[in-house]
Amino acid sequence: MTDTFDADAVREVLGDGPVLVLTGAGISTDSGIPDYRGPDSPPRTPMTYQQFVGDAAFRRHYWARNHVGWRHVHRTRPNDGHRALASLEAAGVVSAVVTQNVDALHQAAGSRRVVDLHGRYDRVVCLGCGEVIPRAALAERLTALNPDFADEVDDVEVAPDADAVLASTEGFRPADCASCGGMLKPDIVYFGENVPKERVLRCHRLVEEASALLVAGSSLTVLSGRRFVKSAAGQGKPVVIVNRGATRGDAMAALTVDGGCSQVLTALARSYGAAAPAPVSGKITPVP
């Protein structure tokens, strides 16, 4: 892995585009959202899909922690790394961003073509009727059911999926679907749950359409993201990986950069002469 960063060298490997970008939790750390597997990250054991749907106590535990953690993630803002990718898209270099993150910060930074591989923290889906509602609407219901619960918790550790670490969740009352009474679940792909097939196929199409792949802030530990690196490398397309520490995709990369995403991506955007995009206003929605 390279010890120094040369933006022009990275640009030479990536070419003029279209470059597909795959991002992970490491791009959002400068926004105050911790990652799962960074060099300084504490060990975490995320809840599995099977635990969530199979045990009411697990669901209560999750929703209590999420009720606290959601407010923290909801207040976060894009950082220079997010903005650099948005500017590269506006300049016609980046064709799309496939993100393993659920924080919606790419859209907030101005990226227009984003695939939320693992879903989004700001939406909730009913496993009974399939209705999708904003997380903000559920927050109002949870607050009504649990007055002052979140206000009594300060200075908590929050995971990338808005899961806050709480000493106790006893007595917390989750909410059911207001339409059918069914089980509500964050619109996030849990561990033990598959990414929807059509979403995976869409990402493979983006790999095929791209001339190169740039990975930013992912250890590529999870196969759901690593398979696109394998696909790009298998097609003979150059792969550049920017991450703090080694990744499971390094052997497939044409170039690796050991560094923070904000600094590296900002320098890369400057190398391409990409100007910062205009601020995003109004409702942020995912691109089909």
Catalytic residues: 118
Rounded CA separation 207/210 (Å): 5
Answer yes or no: is 26 a known binding residue: yes
Answer yes or no: is 31 a known binding residue: yes
Answer yes or no: is 146 a known binding residue: no
The answer to whether 172 and 138 are in contact (CB under 8 A) is no
Q: 132 - beta bridge partners?
A: 125
Answer yes or no: is 124 a known binding residue: no
Answer yes or no: is 33 a known binding residue: yes
Answer yes or no: is 284 a known binding residue: no
Rounded CA separation 165/65 (Å): 6
Answer yes or no: is 80 a known binding residue: no
Answer yes or no: is 27 a known binding residue: yes
Class of residue 166 by CB neighbours under 10 A (exposed 0-12, middle 13-18, buried 19+): middle
Answer yes or no: is 133 a known binding residue: no
Answer yes or no: is 41 a known binding residue: yes
Answer yes or no: is 203 a known binding residue: no
Answer yes or no: is 39 a known binding residue: yes
Answer yes or no: is 32 a known binding residue: yes
Residues of the binding site:
24-44, 100-103, 126, 129, 177, 180, 217-219, 243-245, 261
Residues of the binding site for NAD(+):
24-44, 100-103, 217-219, 243-245, 261
Residues of the binding site for Zn(2+):
126, 129, 177, 180
